[in-house]
Structure 1
Amino acid sequence: MPLLSRGAFEQFEATPSGPAADEYGLTGRHPFTVLREVTRGLQPVPLKFAASAEERGIALTRLVLTMGSRVMLRRVADASTPLHILCWSWDLSGEPPLVHPAPDADPARWQVPLRGDERRLDEGPLELVPPRRIVGSQSVRIILWQSDRGADPATVTGEVREALRHSRLASTLATLSPDARATMMTAVGVREAAGELGREIAPVLRALCTDYVDFFEGFYPVVDDVVRSDRLAGFHSELSLRM
């Protein structure tokens, strides 16, 4: 369960078709929560997910951890133990989940420097999700981790990438077609698989990291009014994102 969160998977919108849509007069886009309830007794229900007209990405613009965050990361103020950022993201396009930092990224850019008695990253945006056309809803998850066992950031990220590749979420997303057509049961399957993902990745992080925290999870559905920025604060920390 992430410490900070924004939105929920169920907020994405889709256009139904078939007998269920005809019977209930469902025209145009509707939230997943509405579609799930009104079509509960009628399956399958074909869906077409909403898609963004333009490319969208997500960048981390500010991250602050105060001394109080030692309750989450015991070595948050230890200058000899770097604090690393790892994230994964996915949408409903049928593409596999993305894991960052990428293999060719500069590891130093994905560390949160110690400035005085705080961990602070605010020197320019860090690209979490590369700009692309989003289908349904963009999900992004941020993990913060430390290791005094000499764990290499590339190894940690690579192991998480491999675990994601074999996850139930990845296999469920792979069933979505390139034109973003699916059924209500497919969407339910994605939601359930996404809920299991944290438990699937946890053994990898426990094996490699001395401390880690499931820091943030955000869901940003495709809607007409685009969210341009987001700021969250709590648990002795602050997070700002730019879309």
Structure 2
Amino acid sequence: MSFIHQGNFGALSAGVAPHLQRAGLDSLTQLQQVVEATRAIQPVSLQFRTSKDRRGLALGALELKRGFEGILGDLFDAQNEVYFVSWAWDLSGEGPFLHPADGTSPGDFCLKMTAGDVRRLLGAGALLFPPRRVTAGIAVRIMLWESDHDAKHLGETITSVASTIATSKLSNLLQMVALGTAVTGATVALIAQAAAELSSAIGTVLKASSDDCVDFYEGYYPAEAPWTAGEERHEGASSAITLTRLGGG
């Protein structure tokens, strides 16, 4: 379960396929609305809405809050290294975008931080989802962890995360969407379940490395919702993150 939450999967942008339009259905704009309205006449093909502009996300800044040293033990001593793992996707059929990418040097994504530190990342920040026209919306997960391991061990952990994503049910379902297979309410439910299962699986991989979870962010950005370039801040119990919205009209 995420500690920091923004939006929900059901709010992503979708409608009924054009050839199935009927009175009352053409005004529906969210997955949850369409699925509920057509439940009695399943299966009904859905059509995901696409943004008119290019949209992307980056992590612009990270803050570790003061006052939690007692809860988290020695997590925030000067020698601890903090890193984050994120994966983001839309319903275009492309697989999830992973940060850090498999093969990235841990020196490029591990941050030495103490409680109260605020670290701004270079430029717009670490890229979480490359700017492009978005189908249905952007779904993003960010897990913040602390590691006491060496670079080799952390590199192996990221490789395991990449493999977990590549072989996940979510990746398989997104590939099915890319093939043009009719998407119904049942398909949407499977995608939502697969996304939750992937979060759990990645958490298991990271826990197996004996790393400590600091915070977990989950966010959804519908394709038809207003979008302007800029920053937004989200606060959890142990950290705060600043996301940079890229692109926009």
Match of 2:82 in 1: 83
Distance 1:213 1:142 in 2: 11
- Once the 2 structures are TM-superposed, how far is the Cα of residue 92 of structure 1 from its aligned partner? 0.6
The amino acid of 1:212's aligned partner reads C
User: Which has the higher mean CA deviation after the structures are superposed, 191-200 or 100-109?
Assistant: 100-109
Q: Which residue of 2 aligns with 1:120?
A: 118
The one-letter amino acid of 2:112's match is P
Gapped runs of 5+ residues in structure 1?
A: none
**Equivalent AA in structure 1 for residue 143 of structure 2:** I
Match of 1:5 in 2: 5
Query: Does the Cα contact within 8 Å between 2:142 and 2:217 map onto a contact in 1?
Result: yes
> Which residue does 2:136 correspond to in 1?
136
- Asked if residue 225 in structure 1 is aligned to residue 226 in structure 2, the reply is yes
The CA deviation at 1:212 is 2.1
Could you tell me the percent identity over the aligned residues?
A: 31
Q: In the aligned structure 2, how far is the partner of 1:180 from the partner of 1:49? A: 13
- TM-score, normalised with respect to structure 2: 0.85
Deviates more, 1:83-92 or 1:176-185: 176-185
Post-superposition offset of 1:78: 2.2
Evaluate the alpha carbon distance shift between residue 17 and residue 126 of structure 1 in structure 2; reply closer, same or farther with a 3 A threshold: closer
Q: Deviations over 1:166-199 (max 9, x none)?
A: 2221122221036696222211211121122222
Aligned to 1:238: 240
**One-letter amino acid matched to 2:39:** R
- What RMSD in Å do the two structures reach over aligned CA positions? 2.5
Equivalent residue number for residue 205 of structure 2? 204
Equivalent residues in 2 for 1:38-57, closer than 5 Å: 38-57=37-56
Show CA shifts across 1:117-153 (max 9, x none).
Answer: 4232214322222222211121111112223243633
Displacement of 1:55 in angstroms is 2.2
Runs of 4 or more consecutive aligned structure 1 residues displaced over 4 Å after TM superposition? 178-181
The residue type paired with residue 159 of structure 1 is S
Which residue does 1:96 correspond to in 2? 95
Aligned residues between the structures: 241
Return closer, same or farther for 1:210/1:195 CA change in 2, 3 Å cut-off: closer
Question: d(CA) in 2 for partners of 1:153 and 1:104?
Answer: 11
Q: Check 1:108–1:69 CA distance in 2 against 1; reply closer, same or farther (3 A cut).
A: farther
What TM-score, normalized by structure 1, do the two folds share?
Answer: 0.87
Partners of 1:217 and 1:158 in 2: CA distance: 22
Task: Quote the residue 2:145 is aligned against.
Answer: 145
